[in-house]
Amino acid sequence: MTKITGVRLTPVAIARSTGLVCGHVIVELDTTDGITGLGEMSDFQHLPRFHVDVPELECTLTELLAGLPVGVEGANEAERRLAESFPLAGSLYDKTSVIRCGVDLALWDVRGKLAGLSVSDLLGGAVRKSLPVAYPIFRQQSPDDVDTNLDLVADQLDQGFTLFRVYVGRRLDLDEAFLRRLRDRFGDRVAVKSLDFSNLLDARTAARFVERTREVGYPLVEAPTYERDTEGLAFVRSRTLVPVSEHVHDRRWAIELAAARAVDVFNLGLFTLGGITPARSMAAIAEAAGLRALIGTTQELAIGTAAAAQFGVATKIADEPADPVGPLLYTRDVVAAGPEYRDGELHPPAGPGLGVALDPDLLAAARGPLRWTDTAVSDVVDRTGKRS
């Protein structure tokens, strides 16, 4: 019986193309068979503005998990220990869920390697070959951003992307200008998957913006009210008649949203749920409630993106276009080869487990402390870098 012998954590600091430097932690789960499972604690660069003590966390996780069977016979006990020691705080960017997610992914990776199966096979087999994905267009914050983002759309069209997720909510006048000029310039060559309000506005303000721009054409609005405002989500849904999605981050929130008929789509981000194991429960709730689901993201590196792809292709209800494009946004990564993007779709890597392998040289080059230096709060929220 293969057992866990220890957990190794490596913090990395990697810049996005927008300039924001994001901190991640790469997880290596060692076993008695010499097989190592890989995971990723993705993008700690979210509020609240603190970081974990990585060496202390490494010691804690090793003490917690060492000696446990790594296969399915130890899965329930591993989940119990993680849930008990890292209780969720019930918020979208809960750092305990990020920690649990990294370990959970590593557990699934090593199980797949031991069985010689991909994680999607362990989940019952792929129901689709790939995930259609939307390329993100970040918020307009100055008039110049409108032209810059229109040019970005043109560039991504050349790369095979025709579907875009547009972040809004900071400068609504510029957001509206961008949407109208997007349609004028590209016509039906592009599709807007959704407007993402990121919980920045109250429900009435968001609903007014949707009503004013609805003819631009988009089938979904995301997080169009303040966080955990069930009544607000239901208001936008009924007022605008545009389907609404929201991140779910625990069972209570998922059941509340479903019972109130406040949303049409559950946004299932592994980072905010604590990994694949709890994400399966959220998908089951959505299916039982007659809702749809999409695979969300905090824009992970290749390991976390591979996990999202493996989970997404094996989850029947996750038939809405997905969001993970992190490997295209970051200036470097830590794996030899990651998931592929072809014609606007995300393809999970082939091979056992998550299908990815660390490149020691890339990992060493990216290694760096988790830090908040020169990062403004607005930059964190809007995913931009240091301003000149």
Query: Which residues are annotated as catalytic?
Result: 93, 167
Collect all residues with Cβ–Cβ distance below 8 Å to 125 and sequence separation of at least 6.
Answer: 314
Contact 258, 286 (CB under 8 A): yes
Q: Give the N- to C-terminal CA distance of the chain in Å, as an integer.
A: 56
Strand order in the sheet with 131-132: 131-132, 345-347, 340-342
Cα–Cα distance for residue pair 48/339, rounded to 1 Å:
30
Q: What are phi and psi of 309, to 5 degrees?
A: -65, -45
* H-only helix segments in 132-171: 143-158
The DSSP code sequence of 83-128 is HHHS---SSTT-HHHHHHHHHHHHHHHHHHHHHT-BHHHHTT--SS
> Which amino acid makes up residue 129?
K
Picking from 231, 180, 232, 222, the residue whose alpha carbon sits closest to that of residue 202 is 232
With 0-12 / 13-18 / 19 or more C-beta atoms within 10 angstroms meaning exposed / middle / buried, residue 337 is middle
**Torsion over CA of 132, 159, 361 and 18, rounded to 10 degrees?**
-90
Cα–Cα distance for residue pair 340/328, rounded to 1 Å:
10
Picking from 145, 199, 125, 146, the residue whose alpha carbon sits closest to that of residue 169 is 199
* H-only helix segments in the chain: 54-65, 75-85, 95-115, 119-122, 143-158, 172-186, 203-213, 230-240, 251-259, 270-273, 276-288, 302-313, 326-329, 360-366, 377-382
